[in-house]
């Protein structure tokens, strides 16, 4: 399992693509991507230290607010969860 697998399987947007928040109906642009390794918590005894790949996306709100004032968000995505599909729609 690699970071590219996460991007492909979760259909994550590329940098500069726009997405719509399903909850707030607001438009955001992906302005950055970072590949991470998160500690896996699937060992109940905590003996083995395992890592799982993750992708962190940075978002910038496209409209709204005062000129020169921007809102940014960032979220981490792994293969084990579905938060991107539940909260975002790629529009660009």
Give the Cα separation of 66 and 26 in Å (integer). Answer: 16
How many CB atoms sit inside 10 A of residue 62's CB? 14
The rounded distance, in Å, linking the Cα atoms of 71 and 81 is: 25
Sequence-ordered list of residues with C-beta below 8 angstroms from that of 71, at least 6 positions apart, any chain: 60, 61, 64, 65
Model confidence over 40-65: pLDDT tens digits?
A: 766 666 666 678 999 999 999 987 66
Task: Output the tens digit of pLDDT for each of the chain's 92 residues.
Answer: 789 999 999 999 999 999 999 999 999 999 999 999 998 766 666 666 678 999 999 999 987 666 777 899 999 999 988 999 999 999 96
DSSP state of 89: E
State the pTM of this model.
Answer: 0.84
């Amino acid at each position: 399992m690699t970071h590219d697998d996460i991007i492909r399987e979760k259909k994550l947007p590329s940098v500069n693509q726009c997405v719509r928040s399903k909850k707030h109906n607001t438009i955001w642009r992906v302005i950055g991507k970072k590949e991470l390794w998160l500690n896996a918590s699937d060992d109940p005894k905590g003996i083995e230290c395992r890592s799982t790949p993750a992708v962190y996306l940075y978002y910038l709100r496209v409209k709204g607010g005062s000129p020169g004032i921007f809102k940014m968000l960032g979220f981490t995505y792994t293969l084990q969860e579905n938060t991107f599909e539940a909260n975002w729609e790629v529009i660009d």
